[in-house]
Amino acid sequence: MTASINPGFRKVLSILTVLALISASLVTAAEASGPSGQKLKPIKEPKVGLPASAPQPWVVGVWMHPGMFGREKEAAAEKIRQTLDEYLKAGINSLFMLVKNTTGHVYYDSEIGVKDPAYGWDFFGLFLEEARKRKMTVHPWFCVFPESSLLGQVREHPEWLIVGPGREMVRTVNPALPEVRAYEISLMLELVKKYEVDWVHLDYIRFPCEPTEPYFSREARTLQLFKEETGIDFNALKARDSGNPYWNVWLEWNREQVTRFVRELRQELSKTGHQTKISAAVFPDADNARVLIGQDWLEWGRQGLVDMLCPMLYTNDLPLFEKLTKRALVARESIGRQSGAAVMIAGKTEAQAGTSIKERTADRGKTAAAVGGGVRASTVLICPGIGLITSHNQATPEIMLEEIRLAREAGADGVVFFSGGSLKEEFLKALAERRENL
């Protein structure tokens, strides 16, 4: 005989069961909550460097000058060590060290160029040794065409200098002359062979922008070469503006001489047996640079002649910095899709224009392999230059950090600071504090 359960007791038992279930669910929720009782969010991986799938780490570089360290060897060596240690703490991994100044002086042991007399010892050799100990990447930085002190072979060959529209001579050698290109390339090859560096960095890889733009040489030898390659007599041109098709050929031809230098350098580097890459500091806007200073850096990328481009975006105007950075990145994506620009012959037949025009057109269509060790356009690194204290701007640590953020979010491959002389304690401290998010 089974005892009957009082209906009132049954109701109480049901209520107790429900309360027990609620209590158990609260304990489970508490175990999955933080100290405040709030539900924990999934842990995100910290933003360090590039994503895991990226081919290489984010570049954090700085342009540097031997003058930062003084002339006395032992004191300079100690300061180099201290500086590089500070840079490492700040997350800097790439060093763009000046090895040829705008004066024409070099800062390495050279049998071709003229060393700065203030450095009777091998500055670059010592610097490179310390950088390699710290596994930092070094880009030997050449100011390519300026030769303001008229040293060595340049002094022996004044005909190498650019002659302007008013027959004035400027202290910059003329990229249109084969012997000029050969001389400047010989300095780079000498350094590469002696120190087995992984990079060569090109600056002033252009025609002068002062006193006016464009400023191409008009001495007899250049005009002769121009006529031989195009069939056009420059002195017979009446209208010297972009409305004249022949003037456009003149602009095109001079632009090609700078590109020819980069192509010849790539070819010669490929013969050294060392896989040396090329980086270049370039003017902010590719369209303006190709016309006004003969610096066609998009074409260099399209032909696979360079491995890194550093548009010098020295401004505190953050929207402008972002705009120019994105423009460079969009240009990188587009150059890989271009099939090769046609050479303007200004209404003349190919026979009239000369075979060298056809040869230059063929050069543009070459694959990267054909010019020796080239790279695919899509792999060219874009690392905007951030000006700290320049003739264009004076940044703050906050502006620097914001420009780094804008560059990273736009998809750049890194940044390079101009320059080491301006990278003072407040900037290094800001970098060190934000190192994980560089």
Q: What is the pLDDT of residues 158-211, one digit of tens each?
A: 999 999 998 999 999 999 999 999 999 999 999 999 999 999 999 999 999 988
Average pLDDT over residues 129-154: 98
pLDDT of residue 365 exceeding 50: no
Residue 292: predicted pLDDT: 97
Give the C-alpha separation, 49 to 268, whole Å. Answer: 33
Give the C-alpha separation, 70 to 79, whole Å. Answer: 9
Residue 279 pairs in a beta bridge with 201, 308
- pLDDT band with cut points at 50, 70 and 90 for residue 339: very low
Give the C-alpha separation, 240 to 276, whole Å. Answer: 41
- Among 3-12, 294-303, 311-320, 422-431, name the one with the lowest average pLDDT: 3-12
What are all long-range contacts of 425-428, with beta carbons under 8 Å and residues at least 24 apart? 426/397, 427/388, 427/397, 427/400, 428/86, 428/87, 428/89, 428/90
Query: 329, 321, 299: which is closest to 386 by C-alpha?
Result: 321
pLDDT of residue 97 exceeding 50: yes
CB 92 within 8 A of CB 432: no
Average pLDDT over residues 27-40: 35
| Residue 214 exposed, middle or buried by CB count within 10 Å (0-12, 13-18, 19+) | middle
Give the C-alpha separation, 19 to 7, whole Å. Answer: 19
CB 280 within 8 A of CB 306: yes
The Cα-based distances of 416 to 15, 58, 310, 431 in angstroms read 70, 11, 7, 13
Sorted by sequence, the CB contacts under 8 Å of residue 262 that are 6+ apart come out as: 202, 205, 278, 280, 300, 305, 306
Q: The pTM is what? A: 0.82
CB 86 within 8 A of CB 127: no
Give the C-alpha separation, 112 to 110, whole Å. Answer: 5
Residue 96 pairs in a beta bridge with 63, 139
Residue 55: predicted pLDDT: 57
pLDDT of residue 438 exceeding 50: yes
Residue 436: predicted pLDDT: 72
Give the C-alpha separation, 200 to 48, whole Å. Answer: 27
Q: What is the DSSP letter of 33?
A: B
Give the C-alpha separation, 138 to 73, whole Å. Answer: 20
Residue with the larger pLDDT of the pair 15 and 231? 231
Residue with the larger pLDDT of the pair 90 and 45? 90
Average pLDDT over residues 283-309: 96
Residue percentage of the chain with pLDDT more than 90: 74
- pLDDT band with cut points at 50, 70 and 90 for residue 331: confident
Give the C-alpha separation, 155 to 150, whole Å. Answer: 5
Residue with the larger pLDDT of the pair 117 and 8? 117
Six-digit token string for 399: 């502006």
Q: What is the DSSP letter of 93?
A: -
- pLDDT band with cut points at 50, 70 and 90 for residue 235: very high
The Cα-based distances of 16 to 4, 19, 27 in angstroms read 20, 5, 17
Residue 17: predicted pLDDT: 43
Six-digit token string for 42: 């999934």
Residue with tokens 């100290």: 35
Average pLDDT over residues 377-386: 88
Residue percentage of the chain with pLDDT more than 70: 77
* Torsion 201-115-156-102 (CA) sign: positive
Average pLDDT over residues 401-419: 98
